[in-house]
Chains A and B, each alone.
Chain A
Amino acid sequence: MTDTLAPSTASGSADSSGPGTGTARVKRGLAEMLKGGVIMDVVTVEQAKIAEDAGAVAVMALERVPADIRAQGGVARMSDPDLIAGIVDAVSIPVMAKARIGHFVEAQVLQHLGVDYIDESEVLSPADYVNHIDKWKFTAPFVCGATNLGEALRRITEGAAMIRSKGEAGTGDVSEATKHIRTIKGEINALKAKSPDELYVAAKELQAPYELVAEVARLGKLPVVLFTAGGVATPADAAMMMQLGADGVFVGSGIFKSGDPAKRAAAIVKATTFFDDPEEIANASRGLGEAMVGINVADVPAPHRLADRGW
């Protein structure tokens, strides 16, 4: 673990807890503990319990899964505090919740509610088309989406303690998730191959601080955990993301928009652990009932693509 660019403690937070809390190490550390696991979108207490029983490593509490946000349209915002607090009370695993991009007051509210991770998410309608949230100011850790390495590094510079590749949420089409994790991994590999004097230009091109770019080149990976998200709907989808180098997966609409959510959730958990074992993935994939119907990303008009939100 390295703490480049990481102030030792969060400051300016009204909810700041005791000494030694809110450090980059404990923020990034919680994500380290989630590795190899599946984080599931849930919209009710009952769904949260089903997810926990199925082996979810954390739940994402929200009012509508991305597939419904997409279908219903309109402005998507932070969920009702009653819903989030109810889910925080109902499960013993970590609870995440989404704030709009740039909406630092929604993030303050989520921290006050005691969520374990805040997702500054493109699935909701952005609140600021210029600035993301200054995440160093918070005791609660943040996860942010990214479609490429430069975007991931800009979010880390702003204080994100975990990155997820974006994919195209609410589609059940894994192709964008594949593209984004391959892009991030490929760009990291390209950095590793560069000589030190080439990293200055790389930093300029990535629009990220030189120190962080040099750190990624040296480590051969991001300094924070990298999950993947957006379109994962089957055990094989999850295992593919893991084989492509993800540390874990988010499954949004894919579980509770399917025929048998409890069984599918447990199956995706198993396939994520045994991601390199086709026999176990086959066993996990048997008799799951209908997957979410889904829509092809190619059929989604460009203005309605969520992954394009954030920069």
Chain B
Amino acid sequence: MTPKVGVLALQGDFREHLAVLAGLGAEAVPVRRARELEQVQGLVIPGGESTVMDKLSRAFGLREPLRERIADGMPVYGTCAGLIMLSDRVLDALPDQQTLGGLDVTVRRNAFGNQLDSFETDLDVDLLDGPPVHAAFIRAPIVEAVGPGAETVAALEDGRVVAVRQGNLLGTSFHPEITGETRFHEHFLSLL
């Protein structure tokens, strides 16, 4: 049976994720409500503004259902803001900003600086077969500390961690969904 997966569609580049997942043969649907979350077997949290996703997920009663599904082991893949949402600890957050948590890591928002420091580069990722990943970092976060529960998946040449996983959770600082890279999404679908 075709797996049914969701993309959190409160704000951000959720259409790009929906297109990648559909291209891989998954049935991919936008998720903005708790009842839509109940219908999916896995979830992607897209790039966007983590402050906005946090506020809207609380305002529309999604936060607790999301936390319960993550605790139950639902596969979740977060890119950029999605990685922030999955992290247990955030630096340079708004005073009242909350995350969903699940990844035992500390991330720093906008860790590279402002948009002038956004960049593209190639990354070696042991988790994936094939050539290096071409990665776009856009006002991206960095994983500053990886706790004992989590595992580094990719780092820049200088050692700064930009992809992590823990159980069924995967997070990347960068955006495979806008560079034509599908292997992270394939890996996510393999967890279902």
Q: Give me the interface of A with B, judged by CB distance under 8 Å.
A: 1, 15, 17-23, 25-27, 29-30, 32-37, 52-53, 55-58, 88, 92-95, 111, 114-117, 139-141, 266, 269-270, 273-274
Of the candidates B9, B56, B115, B138, the one whose C-beta lies within 8 Å of that of A55 is B56
Residues of A contacting B59 in the complex (Cβ-Cβ under 8 angstroms):
270
**By the criterion CB–CB under 8 Å, are A140 and B116 in contact?**
yes
**By the criterion CB–CB under 8 Å, are B109 and A36 in contact?**
no
Residue on B nearest A1 in the bound complex, by CB:
B178
**By the criterion CB–CB under 8 Å, are A52 and B51 in contact?**
yes
Of the candidates A26, A53, A115, A140, the one whose C-beta lies within 8 Å of that of B138 is A26
8 nearest A-B pairs in the assembled complex, by CB-CB distance: A116-B115, A20-B119, A26-B118, A36-B11, A20-B120, A32-B13, A21-B119, A55-B55
**By the criterion CB–CB under 8 Å, are A21 and B118 in contact?**
yes
Q: Give me the interface of B with A, judged by CB distance under 8 Å.
A: 9-16, 32, 47-49, 51-52, 55-56, 59-60, 80-81, 92-94, 109-110, 113-121, 136-139, 175, 178-180
| Chain A: minimal CB distance from B31 (Å) | 12
Q: A25-B178, A29-B178, A36-B48 are in contact. Are A273 and B10 (CB under 8 A)?
A: yes
Of the candidates B49, B93, B113, B115, the one whose C-beta lies within 8 Å of that of A57 is B49
Main secondary structure of the interface of A (DSSP, over half): loop
Q: A35-B11, A35-B12 are in contact. Are A17 and B81 (CB under 8 A)?
A: no
| Chain A: minimal CB distance from B6 (Å) | 15
| Chain B: minimal CB distance from A107 (Å) | 13
Residues of A contacting B60 in the complex (Cβ-Cβ under 8 angstroms):
270, 274
Complex Cα–Cα for A17 and B121 (A): 14
Contacts A92-B92, A117-B115 supplied; 5 other A-B pairs, CB < 8 Å: A29-B178, A33-B12, A36-B12, A36-B14, A88-B114
Residue on B nearest A225 in the bound complex, by CB:
B13
Residue on A nearest B81 in the bound complex, by CB:
A33
Residues of A contacting B110 in the complex (Cβ-Cβ under 8 angstroms):
92
**By the criterion CB–CB under 8 Å, are A32 and B178 in contact?**
yes
